[in-house]
């Protein structure tokens, strides 16, 4: 579950990015993230755990520094790394946290249930912005999409779920959404429990989510919001293996750059 903010402190932004965000200094998404972290005074901690590529962490460090902030890489490769005091000290000094893409199960199996995961939740509750791209976006929610079938239709066995970091329990996030045809697996995830909204985030697109629940879309693609709050029927409990699932009463929003959706009130609007 998300950590509880201090009475006088607003929770920090959550910024799930759909992947392939354009790793250039003129990236609108990354520029805005650096500004939220303090601009020239930003101290961004990069967590490249999901990636198996040695250059991922240093590459983002160089990118954030080219935009104007300062950055440090925290290469957490094993669970025992998450218990080291030096790792926790780096988190305490950060004004922003960035989780890279890769394999989200590396994130959940290495970070899950450790002092690093608890400190990440607390720091976000204290007002520190946290952004993640691709796998780093998926891990933010309480229930994380770990895999599943491509395609437009929800199906039994159409999605694999795992525990996420629990930075929010209001949404469940999928990424590379339109590019990889992931509507079916997002709908499959929502068919189990209509509490959370589904966010399908396209590549080079981000959802900037404020403490009050306001979500603003930034980027070149769209964020597909599936609101199941009025779901009246799901056949997931009785369909046979791999069969299509019926879902009745869903509400769908497709939101481009500048559009807003409030994950608390479930209201969409343009500003």
Distances (CA, A) of 161 to 9, 78, 112, 183, 186: 32, 22, 14, 15, 10
- Which tokens in the block code for residue 154? 């929800």
Task: Check if 160 is active-site.
Answer: no
Residue 97: how many other CB atoms lie within 10 Å: 24
CB-count exposure of residue 35 (10 Å: 0-12, 13-18, 19+): middle
Q: Measure the CA–CA gap between 179 and 193, rounded to whole angstroms.
A: 26
Which residue in the list 27, 108, 134, 141 is annotated as catalytic? 134
Examine the residue annotation and report whether 176 is marked as an active-site residue of this protein.
yes
Q: Where are the beta strands (DSSP E) in 13-112?
A: 14-17, 43-47, 70-73, 96-99
Task: Give buried/exposed letters for 141-171 (b at 16+ CB in 10 A, else e).
Answer: bbbbbbebbeeeebbbebbebbbbbbbbebb
Q: Which of 21, 156, 203, 216 is catalytic?
A: 203
Query: Of all residues in the chain, what percent are helix, strand and coil, respectively (each to 5)?
Result: 25, 30, 45
- Check 176, 188, 216, 234 and give the catalytic one: 176
CA pair distance 109, 4, nearest whole angstrom: 24
> Of the candidates 249, 259, 247, 250, which has an alpha carbon nearest to the alpha carbon of residue 227?
250
Catalytic residue ranges: 134, 176, 203
């Amino acid at each position: 579950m998300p950590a509880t903010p201090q009475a006088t402190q607003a929770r920090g932004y959550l910024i799930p990015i759909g992947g392939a965000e354009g790793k250039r200094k003129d990236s609108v998404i990354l520029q805005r993230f650096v500004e939220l972290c303090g601009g020239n005074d930003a101290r961004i901690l990069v967590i490249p755990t999901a990636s198996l590529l040695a250059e991922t962490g240093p590459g983002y460090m160089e990118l954030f520094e080219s935009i104007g902030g300062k950055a440090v890489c925290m290469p957490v490769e094993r669970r025992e790394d998450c218990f080291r005091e030096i790792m926790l000290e780096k988190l305490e000094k950060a004004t922003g946290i960035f989780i890279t893409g890769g394999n989200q199960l590396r994130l959940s199996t290495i970070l899950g249930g450790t002092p690093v995961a608890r400190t990440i939740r607390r720091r976000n509750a204290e007002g520190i912005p946290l952004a993640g791209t691709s796998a780093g976006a998926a891990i933010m929610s309480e229930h994380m999409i770990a895999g599943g079938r491509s395609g437009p239709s929800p199906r039994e066995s159409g999605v694999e779920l795992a525990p996420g970091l629990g930075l929010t329990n209001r949404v469940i996030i999928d990424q590379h959404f339109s590019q990889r045809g992931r509507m079916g697996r997002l709908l499959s995830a929502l068919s189990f429990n209509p509490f959370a909204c589904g966010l399908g985030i396209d590549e080079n697109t981000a959802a900037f989510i404020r403490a009050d629940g306001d979500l603003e879309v930034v980027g070149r693609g769209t964020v597909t919001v599936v609101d199941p709050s009025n779901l009246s029927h799901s056949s997931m409990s009785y369909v046979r293996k791999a069969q299509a699932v019926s879902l009745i009463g869903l509400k769908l929003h497709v939101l481009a750059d500048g559009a807003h959706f409030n994950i608390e009130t479930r209201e969409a609007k343009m500003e």
